[in-house]
Amino acid sequence: MIEIMIDLQGGAKAPLYEKIYEYIKNEIVEGRISTGEKLPSTRLLAGNLAVSRSTVEMAYDQLLAEGYIEAKPCRGFFVCDVAQLYRLKPVHIKSRASEERCREEACEVDFSPYAIDTRSFPYNIWRKISRNVLMDDNEELLFAGDGQGEYGLRREIADYLHQARGVNCNPSDVILGAGNEYLEILLTQMLGKKRTILMENPGYPQAYRTFCNMGYRVKTVAAAEQGLNVKTVRDIAPELVYIMPSHQFPIGSIMPLKARLELLAWAAEKEERYLIEDDHDSEYRYRGKPIPSLQSVDAQGKVIYLGTFSKSIAPSLRISYMVMPPQLVRCYRENCGFYSTTVPRMQQEILKEFIRNGHFERHLNKMRGIYRSRHDFLLGELKKRSWVRKVSGDHAGLHVLVEVDTPLTEEEFCQNVRKRGVAVSGLKEYELERVQTGTEAALGSAYAGSKTAADSICGGKERSFPTLLLGYGKLNEREIEKGLRVLDAVCEGR
């Protein structure tokens, strides 16, 4: 039997049993305690280390559970052969992707239109709810739960959507998923393959790629301030139309009621037609009354409504929701009802309590105030710049479009700015034809007749000035000023 002496006073702060466990484990792994060696009894080791016997017992129990030692009746504890034990070792591989992320992280100011203010996340409230959810040792939380999403959370979401967006739905109409992309994949499985879907261009690249990857024939039409023209829709003859009527991304237009009603009438003409309403950035509007959802005026059950908590709470929450017409709910249950939920049940329970206790409403009100202040500050600063030709897409969402007076191309301008530590994207990056994948290329004529983003923004004339997306979600006033000074320098050729 060996003697074990451990310095329990130094090192990192940790429970005593954990220090004993770590010391013995490392000695075994490094071969300093041999296979088959007998360890001191718990009573003897406790006496040598001047700790309680229960402390040593806890350390031994952990070593037993992980297979480092074994207990032999009436004989004591012996070291096992650990050659076959699985141990994680750090691997240092610097891939091209990681290098690109490092370069992005090096940017001091990021005008990303996707970014939000994570510094204002309600950590204390979220932590308290998380602790309370786990306090009762509710074993049900460890099971998969309802594949459609937990009923309690679906009920809270349905109530919120009705009050805030005018959405008419029951909890049974709501399906939860880990992100909009998952719900769009689920939708394509419900509706079947070989469908044609129409999208506005420029548009939301993630949705575009998702539908293309699922084998849908994707056609695009130029985004316009007055929304989709129903005559254009009839000419293209899709089964599905994907739109963002309350705040089109990225140009920020709002679809007028007349255009909405015409689209609803078109969809009602045939059973297989549906409108997919992505209610992008609907929570953040800074002037006038909130724009009601398209679903709120749908009397025929032709709108599929998509929303997410990524912008309103945090991107990592990964909880999105899809509100289905009753006939598609039946289709979901028949064709996809056997799928397990992709959202952890504990996360659902935490979010349910966050909404039910009024924390979500208070958080939204707080963030609207923060974002409105940044929005107004950015617009005020842009008015001072001679290089700003036009600002559009303002008064809602988390970014504005800025047309820049510069001889540089859009790509050259963005690259030049990035070299100076500021990340900014141009409107061309959201032209859907520029993000084709192999699947899309195989679709051939899917894009025939589609106008470009430049046609959309400039009335069909060739655009000679870059248009930038300046997001302000994660930037305070000091950071906005710093980023604009870099843009000043690039525009002035300094």
* pLDDT of 84 higher than 80: no
Range in 93-97, 205-209, 368-372, 438-442 with the lowest mean pLDDT = 438-442
Pick the CATH number of 108-120+362-491 from 3.90.1150.10, 3.10.20.340, 1.10.1040.10, 3.50.50.60: 3.90.1150.10
pLDDT digits (tens, 9 = 90+) for 410-439: 999 999 999 999 999 999 999 997 654 333
> Is 487 within 8 Å of 125 (Cβ atoms)?
no
CA 176 to chain centroid, in Å, comes to: 14
CA dihedral 486, 489, 491, 494 (to 10 degrees): -150
* pLDDT of 450 higher than 50: no
Q: Assign domain 16-79 to a CATH class.
A: mainly alpha
Could you tell me which of 112, 73, 38 has the C-alpha nearest to residue 311? 112
Inter-axis angle of helices 410-419 and 477-491, nearest 10: 120
CA 420 to chain centroid, in Å, comes to: 28
398 pLDDT band (50/70/90 cuts)?
very high
pLDDT digits (tens, 9 = 90+) for 266-281: 999 999 999 999 998 8
Domain boundary assignment for the chain = 16-79, 108-120+362-491, 139-357
Give me the architecture of the 139-357 domain, per CATH: 3-Layer(aba) Sandwich (3.40)
The pTM for the full model equals 0.78
What is the pLDDT at residue 413?
A: 95
Span 206-212, average pLDDT: 95
